[in-house]
């Protein structure tokens, strides 16, 4: 069985947003959103991470050019939750970790 911490996943958001990730086994969470942009770009430079999950409303606070830069980032990949569909998220996770974590095949 693959352990979730092997994927290098981090969630950034308020306490309510990251609670579900903690319950799912994602222990790397950031809840201080006072410096959201600074924290996000620090995470994007962390080469041990594969996936950074953010609330889409937090991304909306970034300047358009920075938001585009964040969404095009590949390693780690940024996954905004709220507006995007499940298939888009599934594909981004598959690209980031190299396997389909949604697959039911064993």
Report d(CA 61, CA 64) in Å as an integer.
9
- Residue 104: inside a domain, yes or no? no
Instruction: Tell me the pTM.
Output: 0.70
- Residue 9: inside a domain, yes or no? yes
Q: Which range marks the domain in which residue 28 is found?
A: 4-97
Instruction: Report the percent of the chain where pLDDT is more than 90.
Output: 10
- Residue 66: inside a domain, yes or no? yes
CATH number of 81's domain: 3.40.50.10580
Contacts 24+ apart (CB under 8 A), 81-90: 81/17, 81/53, 81/54, 81/55, 81/56, 82/55, 82/56, 82/57, 83/56, 84/56
- Residue 46: inside a domain, yes or no? yes
Burial-class residue 46 by CB neighbours within 10 Å (0-12, 13-18, 19+): middle
Question: Looking at residue 66, what is its pLDDT?
Answer: 92
- Residue 103: inside a domain, yes or no? no
- Residue 34: inside a domain, yes or no? yes
pLDDT in tens, 34-58: 788 888 998 899 888 888 989 888 8
In 3D space, the residue among 34, 36, 31, 37 whose CA is nearest the CA of residue 13 turns out to be 31
pLDDT in tens, 9-37: 888 888 887 887 787 778 677 776 678 88
- Residue 21: inside a domain, yes or no? yes
Q: Using the predicted structure, report yes or no on whether residue 95 has a pLDDT greater than 60.
A: yes
- Residue 18: inside a domain, yes or no? yes
Instruction: Please tell me the total count of domains within the chain.
Output: 1
């Amino acid at each position: 069985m693959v352990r979730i911490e092997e994927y290098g996943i981090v969630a950034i958001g308020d306490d309510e947003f990251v609670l579900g990730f903690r319950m799912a086994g994602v222990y790397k969470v950031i809840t201080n959103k006072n410096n959201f942009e600074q924290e996000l770009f620090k995470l994007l430079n962390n080469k041990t991470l594969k996936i950074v999950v953010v609330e889409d409303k937090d991304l909306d606070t970034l300047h358009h050019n920075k938001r585009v830069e964040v969404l095009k980032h590949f390693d780690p990949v940024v996954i905004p939750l709220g507006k995007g569909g499940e298939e888009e998220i599934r594909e981004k996770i598959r690209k980031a970790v190299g396997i389909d974590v949604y697959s039911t095949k064993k």
